[in-house]
Structure 1
Amino acid sequence: MDSEDQPEEIDREDIDPIIKSWTFEPGKLTARLVVASDGRDVLQMRIEMGLLQMETSGRPDGEKPFNFDSYLEYIQAQIVADDTVMLNDPDCVEIDREFVQLYHRRICWLALREYERAVRDADHTLALMDVCRNRSDDPEWIESHEHFRPFVMFHRIQAKSLIELEKHTPEHAIEELTNGVEELRSIHETNGTEEAFEEDELHIRLIELRETLREQFEVGQTLNEQLADAVAHENYEKAAKIRDRISKREDAR
């Protein structure tokens, strides 16, 4: 066979075909789930000059630090073994890597409406923040993560409310948002920034989502809102009846 007639060998390291077939759109987060050559699902995010590929569970880069599924699990095991353990410089480097990886995966899950997975990664990130706060003696490094706690909580609250909307009722979603607003308020109170809370962008966006759902699904006062109103007006008989209705509703879930 003439060499010119031989099929051209495919360079498996060349990602040009992927880049050309998957257009990058500035200002828009584009993600997708694809099946890898070994049959496992992987998560991809298109970026301006390429793409990121992440594992769907465990650590996004697929590494197993010290044979643990994540660096968080490794550190938690160290704390169980020695309650006095503090983070060292290599720990901080690995924790920062895990923070960034989880951020990328979390926003991809939100873009794909994989809300339960987004909640899982938000919980992982918040647990990492707790470890940083409790096991580091560097206030600036702690604050570099605590600064983002409201933002991670915002993602978690959004995702939880949309899970409630999909699996239960608009009323449940609205109540999840109301509870989330109070969680954010408590963070501001802890940080001494409660005066800025009403103008906080994350707070405003949660309120807007809540009222959009209320209008779209024609939901008036939720049972929990009715309960709070009855207690505020010291109408305890009405409050008892509403609590009974809430209990029956939750038992039916």
Structure 2
Amino acid sequence: MSLSCTAFEWYCADAMLVGSMKRTMHLDELIKDWKYDPATLNVRMAKASDGRDVIQMRVDLGLLQLETTGRPDGEKVNGSPSYLEYLQERLLDNPETELDEDECMEVDREFMQFYQRRICWLRLQYFSRAVIDADHTLLLMDVAERVSPDEEWTRSHEQYRPFVLFHRTQAAALGALEQDESGEEAVQAINTGLDAIREFFVRHEADEHYDEDELVVRLVDLRETLRSEYEVGQTLREKLTKAVEQEQYELAAKLRDELNRRESN
């Protein structure tokens, strides 16, 4: 049986494409030149073909490439920059929105993508970017709880909230050190993060385990190390809290004014 001219041309084009794919679509050179080190997180910034910055992560079986803005996979969700923003728009239209199984899997995908990029930002010491991605994940947790089909699926994400807060607090503190060499803002960032983690434990009626939690212990150790290295006494917020506790309201008002002035600056 003979092929028509048009069909034959399509056949040849497909054959050439397959042959081209066999010749060029591999990562041999990249992988050979960048050995995987299981003892560390293998991450680097690179330039894409159009000049944009991308993150590359060397993993045991190959290479991951993540976008630096929007979703890490560079995809849009029904026209929205992320699944989080897509869900927020849906909730505006229908506050009773509830996810089905496939939609839950899409939320899970976004959680994992932002986790991968968050740890890359931390490794690359782009601390403000790590804070932004942590905030995205925390807000996605909040929205996912509203649209969750069952409590078990909600708990599967909520259990990681302290871990995300831990990363966010680390990034906020280390980022603060880059802006304020006195160390006070870094110490305060850790205090703020510890307060958020404590709220999680209280909300889940597990506050008796807060002080012994490994993430809490590590943040407290980091805070006290910073206090010692940078000779940080009480932060402004700590002084304010103490003044309120001791009913020194005039002093508290002055401290609050100073705190507002700093934050506005």
Q: Provide the TM-score with structure 2 as the length reference.
A: 0.86
> Could you say what secondary structure the match of 1:206 adopts?
helix
Moved more, 101-110 or 167-176: 167-176
* Aligned counterparts, 1:63-212, within 5 A: 63-168=75-180, 169-212=182-225
Q: 1:15 maps to what in 2?
A: 27
> Could you say what secondary structure the match of 1:66 adopts?
coil
> Could you say what secondary structure the match of 2:54 adopts?
strand
The alignment status of 1:213 with 2:226, answered yes or no, reads yes
Work out whether residues 141 and 157 of structure 2, in 8 Å CA contact, stay in contact via their aligned partners in 1.
Answer: yes
Q: How many residues align?
A: 243
Separation of aligned partners in 2, 1:232 and 1:63: 50
Q: 2:10 maps to what in 1?
A: none
Distance 1:243 1:62, change over 3 A: closer
> Could you say what secondary structure the match of 1:67 adopts?
coil
Work out whether residues 56 and 65 of structure 2, in 8 Å CA contact, stay in contact via their aligned partners in 1.
Answer: yes
Moved more, 151-160 or 232-241: 232-241
Work out whether residues 239 and 255 of structure 2, in 8 Å CA contact, stay in contact via their aligned partners in 1.
Answer: yes
Separation of aligned partners in 1, 2:96 and 2:53: 39
> Could you say what secondary structure the match of 2:98 adopts?
coil
Q: 2:11 maps to what in 1?
A: none
Cα deviation for residue 11 of structure 1 reads: 4.2
Give the counterpart of 1:239 among 252, 255, 260: 252
The alignment status of 1:47 with 2:59, answered yes or no, reads yes
Cα deviation for residue 59 of structure 1 reads: 1.3
Moved more, 232-241 or 140-149: 232-241
Q: 2:4 maps to what in 1?
A: none
Fraction of identical pairs, as percent? 50
Is there any run of 5+ residues in structure 1 with no aligned partner, and where? 1-9
> Could you say what secondary structure the match of 2:239 adopts?
helix
Q: 2:8 maps to what in 1?
A: none
> Could you say what secondary structure the match of 1:76 adopts?
helix
Separation of aligned partners in 1, 2:140 and 2:156: 13
> Could you say what secondary structure the match of 2:86 adopts?
helix
Tell me how large the CA RMSD over aligned residues is. 1.7
Q: Which amino acid aligns with 1:87?
A: L
Separation of aligned partners in 1, 2:262 and 2:79: 44
> Could you say what secondary structure the match of 1:61 adopts?
coil
For the pair shown, which has the larger CA radius of gyration, 1 or 2?
Answer: 2
Q: Provide the TM-score with structure 1 as the length reference.
A: 0.90
> Could you say what secondary structure the match of 2:232 adopts?
coil
The alignment status of 1:225 with 2:233, answered yes or no, reads no
Q: Which amino acid aligns with 2:193?
A: G
Q: 1:131-184: per-residue Cα shift (whole Å, max 9, x none)?
A: 221111311111100011111111111111222221234101111111111111
Q: 1:202-223: per-residue Cα shift (whole Å, max 9, x none)?
A: 1111111111111111111112
Distance 1:139 1:217, change over 3 A: same
Is there any run of 5+ residues in structure 2 with no aligned partner, and where? 1-21
> Could you say what secondary structure the match of 2:39 adopts?
coil
